[in-house]
Chains A and B, each alone.
Chain A
């Protein structure tokens, strides 16, 4: 029977005792029975959640003084829709990967590229609209946060695209291990869902401030 033993139970072990030794000698040397890359992704998600939440927290702190409401161009709704579509696409991408239907996977990879780039272009249009409305980065603190958070979100997307591109190259060389592709597409899917969540939080922040 599998049972996850918590960190607190682990650090209560007495490694020097005879009966504990017998249990410990069989320990496989892994804390979690998951892929290293997947654990890496988890760590990255934790670190970048801390990163974004510190920004939002500082915005909350900063709000007290000369805050001016952030304008909400309609294009942001469109961008949100595109990113949601992109996430759905990644769901299919992962599903096709798990079903080992790699021809479909290739198709979905191109679709996700398209949607992600569409989102980035949409964000650029939002920036241009802001500039046309006369909201520059130094105009008001809310607008500064808008530029900053959207830029950092896009940088995170670019990081994801880098990894997706590595996976794409692997699929197209036909020299790959099936499990590796499967775990890679699963990682991409989770990462994009995470970035959708981050964007939704940023979007709600823009709408409510």
Chain B
């Protein structure tokens, strides 16, 4: 361990702007050593310790990704079943009202927690953090491994709930009591208990992983890698992890208390209530308390998913437009400000819970303030593209798709953030369209872009471009075909969560036609994802072989001696960082990019005069 006084072993006295005041120094470049005492890594000896119980963050990242994508596929199939029910009611025998609620619940929970959170932080976080900050591995590799296995356990418990009597819970992904644990709700016995258990295990596992991400980013960067030289991907993942560490306790607290309400008969959340004419033994509990706890977790959760997406897309745009990101500092500030504000907006999910209007007014204000840093980010992405050398590669296409979709979903968020506008729109398809656009499609487009971008790093091969273009256009246009009509369904007042509208005179008959159209679009978009999986599986062995650093990116993950990077990431010597991650098209330089680990003397002709 590098201990408290290991500083004196450094070859030069560090003068960092973060830990010390930076006096001017004139130490020749050749004397700078990557001095950090090398981490003692666990070296895997057998197949099992190398690929299964692995302590290598890259393998763990891939394990996380495979698990998350597998469970995500289950959620996608569930969404198909829901759409079949909505588009063609009374057509399929295997669909029932209670089944519909179970599909809705599991689809929502899997997508938000087990797919997006796990993939961005567990998958991309594990793979990219050590590589991007120039570390050999996470600081606590063993704990990192335990984190993955707890995540897998959580997923398995979740899957098990499909097979218990009564099936999985059908309480909606928000699991509101009292209905979540009272008879009449599908899966109100074993289903809900397994769900709460699974979430608790997930939170414990995630806390272990999150500890690693935060400390690795803070403490084991390469020499020269200041916080403000880190790629925005790392900033996004870092801030999201901090949010998660502070927000997930609220989730586990509400899970524990609801489990006790269900199993031991306490009344934390359960009010006095009648059930089929009989007085239940519960009394005095507060369902609103659960809503506060849940959304105190739930709103930061939105940004836990969005912030890594913001970070990754900034890097993708910068690399594929061959231009430094516009307003890097502003981007960092926006990420941090959005993260901080996300803890003060939770009650905008509860406008119709009967809260005091002034309380709602406060939360409407904070919600609208978040639009400011978010809009700054969008402007900066667009200004990065302005007069840039845009290469319409697949990652770029997905990034452009992200910007449009995110603006789209963000603007409907402004409507929903206002109390008075929200009240009529609440619980309609407008809300469904909004959150799918902003936290479903937008982050998923970034995930796809990121997979196309980093696949050559992970496997040494490209994904097939033609299949990728097909995947992009079908996904992009298809998701608009799904969610644009939903806004109109919301305007005419079609409520969400209803498995069938029956004969509702206030709803135009054309709404049914729209529903059928949406269902067909959803099936087509789902098919495109299967093509994407086919592309991944075939490209691992048969894809076009990529050169080292095929996108000519500056950040450290592409500068490893071997591709794909091996255990320990950087060979014998850790890299030394001399610049930020965005030195693209520097005037005078021979190449249009200068990697972060290239010393100024190697590119003496380049004269950067940027602002």
Contact = CB atoms under 8 A, between A and B. Distances in A.
A169 interface: no
Interface residues of A, number: 61
Contact of A29 (B21, B139, B223): B223
B7 interface: yes
Nearest to B582: A16
A58 B268 contact: yes
A25 B211 contact: no
A177 B324 contact: no
Interface stretch (A36-44, A75-83, A194-202): A36-44
Contact of B24 (A22, A58, A137): A22
> What is the interface of chain B mostly: helix, strand, loop, or mixed?
loop
Nearest to B133: A29
B15 interface: yes
Given A3-B20, A5-B20, A141-B266, A51 B228 contact: no
B18 interface: yes
Given A15-B226, A15-B228, A180 B1 contact: yes
Contacts, number: 219
Contacts of B305: none
A179 to B, nearest CB: 4
B533 interface: no
B482 interface: no
Interface string B1-34: 1111001001010111111111011010100100
A177 B332 CA distance: 40
B32 A31 contact: no
Contacts of B256: 148, 152
B246 to A, nearest CB: 6
A50 B249 contact: yes
Interface in A24-83: 24-37, 39-40, 43-44, 46-48, 50-51, 54-55, 58, 61-62, 64-67
Contact of B252 (A4, A51, A148, A177): A51
A39 B207 contact: no
Contact of A31 (B19, B250, B265, B286): B19
B253 A11 contact: no
B413 interface: no
Contact of A62 (B218, B253, B289, B577): B289
Of A27, A40, A47, most B-chain CB atoms within 10 Å: A27
Given A11-B333, A44-B211, A24 B21 contact: no
A2 to B, nearest CB: 5
A21 interface: yes
Given A25-B224, A33-B19, A39-B215, A16 B14 contact: no
Interface string B586-611: 00000000000000100000001011
A65 B221 CA distance: 52
Contact of B226 (A24, A48, A179): A24
Interface string A150-175: 00100000000000000000000000
Nearest to A38: B4
A65 B286 CA distance: 9
Given A27-B17, A46-B245, A141 B284 contact: yes
Contacts of A55: 253
A5 B19 contact: yes
A44 B246 CA distance: 11
A144 interface: yes
Contacts of B281: 138
Given A16-B610, A50-B249, A137-B260, A26 B14 contact: yes
A133 interface: no
Contacts of B19: 2, 4-5, 28, 30-33
Contact of B328 (A15, A22, A35, A47): A15
Interface residues of B, number: 82
A35 B17 contact: no
B157 interface: no
A36 B207 CA distance: 16
Contacts of B246: 46-47, 50
Contact of A35 (B1, B227, B284, B578): B1
Given A11-B329, A29-B221, A138-B281, A36 B293 contact: no
A12 interface: yes
Contacts of A148: 256-257, 260
A43 B266 contact: no
> What is the interface of chain A mostly: helix, strand, loop, or mixed?
helix
Nearest to B207: A47
A180 B4 CA distance: 11
Given A1-B21, A5-B21, A11-B333, A43 B224 contact: no
B36 A61 contact: no
Interface in B508-524: none
Interface in B271-287: 281, 283-286
Nearest to A12: B329
A23 interface: yes
Interface in B320-356: 324, 328-329, 332-333, 336
B219 interface: yes
B396 to A, nearest CB: 23
B3 A27 contact: no
Contacts of A132: none
A14 B35 contact: no
B222 interface: yes
B116 interface: no
Contact of B284 (A25, A50, A65, A183): A65
Given A46-B245, A144-B266, A27 B333 contact: no
A164 B215 CA distance: 22
Given A30-B221, A58-B289, A62-B286, A141 B267 contact: yes
Contacts of B24: 19, 22-23
A39 B217 CA distance: 12
B2 A29 contact: no
A36 B139 contact: yes
Contacts of B35: 28
3 closest Cβ pairs, A-B complex = A65-B284, A29-B221, A66-B284
11 contacts: A11-B332, A11-B333, A16-B610, A26-B15, A29-B222, A30-B220, A31-B219, A47-B245, A50-B246, A65-B284, A141-B285
Given A25-B29, A44-B211, A51-B249, 6 more contacts: A11-B332, A13-B226, A15-B328, A27-B226, A54-B293, A61-B289
Interface of B: 1-4, 7, 10, 12, 14-22, 24-25, 27, 29, 32, 35-36, 133-134, 139-140, 207, 211, 214-215, 218-229, 245-246, 249-250, 252-253, 256-257, 260, 264-268, 281, 283-286, 289, 292-293, 296, 324, 328-329, 332-333, 336, 576-580, 582, 600, 608, 610-611
Interface of A: 1-5, 9-16, 18-37, 39-40, 43-44, 46-48, 50-51, 54-55, 58, 61-62, 64-67, 137-138, 141, 144, 148, 152, 177, 179-180, 183
